Structure 1
Amino acid sequence: MTIFDFSTVFGEFSRPFQHIPYSESYRDYTNGGQWVKGAELPPVNMEGVILPLGNDDLQFDTAGTYTIQDRKLFLQEPETLEEEAVVEVDGLRYRVTGDKPYGHYAGFNVYFLKRTDIGGETS
């Protein structure tokens, strides 16, 4: 049970985005131990509140330095994302670089999104 109810905020401001999952990377020992990067899997449609970063967020944080191209994603539980997950918003890709869990008292988590190129590498 959460202490604060933000369902009306999510109902009004949520917008669609896609989580781009990747298969597991592995070492192919049949080819001399060559590293095989995970392949992109079909996207998963999700919804959340996506905002630009504020001035406080643009400073150094535990996940690194952010720019005005980066975003903040508010995602209602039970939906979650792992660190390094790739999401696509309006045709632009972002990598999850960190989170702030507010789940036990507010029912959502905040994820910091770093702008990336098409392959998911940080730009």
Structure 2
Amino acid sequence: MTELMIFNEVIEQNSVPFTALIDQEGQYINGKWVLGKPTEVPMAGIILPLNNDDLKYIESGVYTVKEKKLYVVDPIKIDTKVKYKGDTYTVQSFKDLTDFTDVHIYLMRYQGTGGGGEQNV
């Protein structure tokens, strides 16, 4: 079996802060299901714009310049909302290289500015 390429130090040295909005379990209140409010969890990772090669080989649709790549060592659940520089993104799968490296690479799909208002682009 191939040894993993370890990039933990590279990620730590070049990371920027962002906030993950982790959904909490809902509950029944007076017989109605009420969704849990997301908890803001501070995280750090490398955030980069998509490059031409990324756009060329994407299978899952059209992307804009507002989408970003996220490199982190700790995995993030798909569909997690992320706040970065005042914008809200949704984490989607992108490239699974975990057979070779300790880095998880995700696509952050742009959702809008501010408080997380959904906006398709």
TM over 0.5: yes
Q: Give the aligned partner of residue 38 of structure 2.
A: 41
Q: Give the aligned partner of residue 116 of structure 1.
A: 111
Q: Give the aligned partner of residue 105 of structure 1.
A: 100
The one of 61, 80, 85 aligned to 1:64 = 61
How much is the aligned-residue C-alpha RMSD, in angstroms? 2.7
The offset of 1:98, in angstroms, is 1.7
SS in 2 for 1:105: coil
SS in 2 for 1:58: helix
The two structures have a TM-score, normalised by structure 2, of: 0.77
CA displacement, residues 36-77 of structure 1 (integer Å, 9 cap, x when unaligned) = 5x343220011111000001223472332211001000011x
Q: Which runs of 5+ in 1 are unaligned?
A: none
Q: Give the aligned partner of residue 4 of structure 2.
A: 3
Evaluate the alpha carbon distance shift between residue 41 and residue 52 of structure 1 in structure 2; reply closer, same or farther with a 3 A threshold: same
Question: How many percent identity over aligned positions?
Answer: 28
How far apart are the structure 1 equivalents of 2:90 and 2:23?
12
Amino acid at match of 2:106: Y
The offset of 1:15, in angstroms, is 1.1
Q: Which runs of 5+ in 2 are unaligned?
A: none
Amino acid at match of 2:78: E
Give the number of aligned pairs.
Answer: 117
How far apart are the structure 1 equivalents of 2:22 and 2:13?
27
SS in 1 for 2:76: coil
